[in-house]
Amino acid sequence: MNEPASDSLSTPRLAIIVVAYRSDTELDAFLASAGKGSSEPAVLIVADNLPSEGVAATIAARYGAAYVPMHANLGYGGAVNAAVELLPTTIKWVLVSNPDVMISAGAIDELLRLAGGDPAIASAGPRILNEDGSVYPSARAVPSIGSGIGHALFSRVWAGNPWTARYHNGEDYSRVRDAGWLSGACVLLRRSAFDAIGGFDPGYFMYFEDVDLGYRLGRVGYRNMFDPAASVTHLGGRSTATESAAMLRAHHRSAERFLAKRYDGVLRWPLRFALLIGLRTRLFVAERRLSH
């Protein structure tokens, strides 16, 4: 991959990394909004997981962004890790985002203000709005055993089940507060904390990389903070049109990986087995639903 020019990375303390994959249409709008999100200069990087298609490099150049083609599709976390490795030590903060996000004016400044006020804050997440203006549950607790099993078993077959309701909507989105993890759709990261835990786990190709990141940051004493004063709109937040069997399997593989990491050790194997059965049952039901 080509390293961004060093003269464009010399002074800013903020980098904005957007991961692209067949997202030329969304990318243009994202980069336009990113410039309004912060009043301070920022390094813009487009990490492209599919550089052989589209015009992402041309769009990146239009906004003065460095274009970083991946040698393969590394997934979201893998692409972010690769881009962060190119940044100089002068970069103290990294905003990572999906391309189908529109950043509101001043939103990044607000996240920097909050996170910069406490060295224990490793990540700060904005209020994420769906296209219809509703609030997406982007700042959640790390799934407990009870809510995790209940959500895994019943979310696809019983929409109003209490476990899924608690997992999605049991938190307050009207105030600044701690969270177990923040949605990777758009989140500000303290560079030193991100580096200290080794960045995203590249073993997650899709899904759960943000859950895992927040969980690992919390385990070493950092805080993940939600800030409703900063807002973005996730244009794909409610979309299920592209759901496929492959995506379902990827989601469940990632869930299994996270649970195996969280509940490791010989003594916890019965618990891991029970969780695995719940996830495999959920996947079976979901795949049957798709096939009909």
Q: What is the mean pLDDT of each run of 10 residues along the chain (292 residues)?
A: 44 95 91 96 96 87 96 94 96 97 98 98 98 92 65 58 62 92 96 98 84 94 98 71 57 68 64 61 60 62
Bridge partners of 45? 17, 66
Give the pLDDT of residue 263. Answer: 67
Give the pLDDT of residue 17. Answer: 98
In three-state secondary structure terms, 123 is strand
Give the pLDDT of residue 286. Answer: 58
Give the pLDDT of residue 6. Answer: 40
Is the CB of residue 128 less than 8 Å from the CB of residue 232? yes
Give the pLDDT of residue 142. Answer: 82
Model-level pTM? 0.80
146: buried, middle or exposed (CB in 10 Å: 19+, 13-18, 0-12)?
exposed
List, in order, residues 6 or more apart from 285 with CB less than 8 Å away. Answer: 156, 157
Give the pLDDT of residue 45. Answer: 98
Residue ranges of alpha helices (H) inside the chain are: 24-37, 56-62, 75-85, 107-116, 145-154, 162-169, 191-196, 209-219, 245-262, 269-291
